Every structure is written in structure tokens, then in C-alpha cells.
Amino acid sequence: MRGTTKRTYSYWFYAPAGVVYGIFFILPTVISFYFAFTRWDLFESHWIGLDNFRQFFSEQSLRSSLRNTLVYAVTTSGLKVVLGMMLAVLLTSSIRLKAILRALTFFPVLVSTVAVGITFSVLLQPDFGIINTVLAKVGITGPDWLGNPTTALLSVAAVDVWKGVGLATVIYIAGILSIPRDYYEAVEMDGGGGWTQFRNVTLPLARPATFTVILLSFIGGLRSFDLIWTMTGGGPGFASDTIASVIYKQYQAGFYGLSTAGNVVLFVLVSIIIFPLSRYFNSREVDL
């Protein structure tokens, strides 16, 4: 029988995928830990120890990217959890039009990020953009959303939520639909209304979905580059630079060692947040 297992489920099946994955994902990841400590022009590299990291953490423009990355990740995943949950509750309730509403919220997930970024940079323009035009009609002078250092990063984060909340919603919908109806009926029997049902049934039993949404949007938020790059280019100044946009800028400027050091910083940041978080979530799921 062991012989059959070996022949039928041969480890050779791993080989083609393993070669591609090994050469184009694992190898670059491993060697990044060498090149991050060098001055590097793609042909020659000189070991310079911790200089790249020292530069990364001492230069204001680079250091602020660390903070921005965290702000961006926390804001986007927080909003996706709250809004995704609310939308999912609405879209699993007894209202009609569910199919069309689900479709409308989900479609932006499938649209290219560059297209979304360009469209919203126009809609958010300070003078004639639709958003400020509407605000002006009700007597509010809207800020220069993308040109003001205090609003730039959060404006991009809001667009990120607009584009990604549909995915959070469908994950929550799947989670809510898997809750047995009996629980809701039991609460109803005891005279509990909609809020009690949500508080005591939906919220705790949709916890796996919440964990998934947090993990996914956190991973995405920490790496986020394309939307920021098309909407602000990291500006004004360095106000909306994230680690991923710094990696690109340093690469463009030819500082390959420094760019790779940025990659290593991002790797470490993602690892110290995501791995413990996912372990914690897994342990909580067993308790349920």
C-alpha cells in the first residue's frame, strides 16, 4: 500500500511548481537579506553593514513611511471590518434587491486599481471635483484632499476601502449564512430584537470571518503601493509615502541596496504583525 501511495501521489508532482516558486519567490526573498546590507548596482555589491538600515530609520522622509504604512493598514482594515459587517448584515436580511446591491458593492473589487486611482484623483480635485462641488452646495469648503499633507494618506485609504469593501462583505456574507437559523429563532423566542440577535449571535459566530477580513486587509494594507502611487505618488512631500512606495522610489533612483533594505523592513514588519495575529486567531477559533 505504501508503494501505491508513493507511486500515485508522487512528490514529483511538487517539482514544476517548486522550481518556479523556488527561483522566483524564495530565492529573491533569501538573497534580499544579503543585498540589504550592501551598496548595490545589480552588477556589483559592496558590504556596508547596517548603513542602509541606519539611513532608513534616520532620514525623516524614509522613517515617516513606516508610520504611514501602519496608519494606512489599520485604517483600511478597521473600516473594512466595520463597513463589511454592516453591509453583510443588510444584505443577508429580508430586504429585496439583495442581488443588485451585492453586485454593486462587489464590482469595484474587479476594476483595475490604476483606473480607480485616476478616477478618484479627478473626483477629489479641490476646485471642480464632484466631491467638493457637492460639499460647496451645502456650504462646506472641502479641503484639497490629495494635496494637503494631513488628508492625503487618509483620502487614499478611503478610496482603498471603497474598492475593497466588497470583498470583505462577501466574506462576511459567507460567514453569516453559515450560522444556523436556530440561534436567531432562539433569541426571537426569548423576545430579543434585531440588535440582540446581532450582538449575541451574528457578532460572535461571524468571528472567523472577522479574522479573515482583518488578516487579508492587513496584509494588503501593509504592502499597499499601486493606489497610493497613482493617486499621490507618495506626496505631497512624503506625506503619503508608504514602505512599498519608498522601495519603488529608491529603486528608481538606483539605490538598489537601500530599496532592498526597505523590502527587508517590510518583511520584518509583516512578519511580526501577521504571524502572531494569525496564530492568535487560530487559537481563538478552536475555542468556539
Within 146-185, the residues that bind other proteins by CB under 8 A are 162, 167, 170-171, 173-175, 184
Grid cell for residue 37: 546590507
Which residues 43-82 are close enough to bind other proteins by CB under 8 A?
Answer: none
Which residues 206-235 are close enough to bind other proteins by CB under 8 A?
Answer: 208-209, 212, 216, 219, 222-223, 225-226, 230
| Strand locations in the chain (E) | 38-40, 45-47
Could you tell me how many residues of this chain bind other proteins (CB under 8 A)? 92
Stretch that binds other proteins, among 60-68, 74-82, 116-124, 198-206 (CB under 8 A): 116-124
Angle at CA 165, nearest 5°, toward 160 and 171?
A: 140
When the beta carbons of 71 and 219 are compared against other proteins, the nearer one is: 219
> From the list 48, 109, 135, 158, which residue makes contact with other proteins (rule: CB under 8 A)?
109
DSSP symbols for 165-186:
HHHHHHHHHHHHHTS-HHHHHH
> From the list 25, 47, 57, 280, which residue makes contact with other proteins (rule: CB under 8 A)?
25
When the beta carbons of 110 and 139 are compared against other proteins, the nearer one is: 110
Minimal distance, residue 151 CB to other proteins, in Å:
19
* Exposure string over 164-180, b if 16+ CB within 10 A, otherwise e: bbbbbbbbbbebbeebe
Minimal distance, residue 200 CB to other proteins, in Å:
16
Which residues 234-273 are close enough to bind other proteins by CB under 8 A?
Answer: 244, 247-248, 251, 256, 259-260, 263-264, 266-267, 270-271
Residue 111, interface with other proteins (CB under 8 A)?
yes
CB-based contacts of 77-82 (< 8 A; 24+ apart in sequence): 77/213, 77/214, 77/217, 77/218, 77/221, 79/157, 79/158, 79/161, 79/165, 80/161, 80/164, 80/165, 80/168, 80/213, 80/217, 81/168, 81/210, 81/213, 81/214, 81/217
When the beta carbons of 150 and 191 are compared against other proteins, the nearer one is: 191
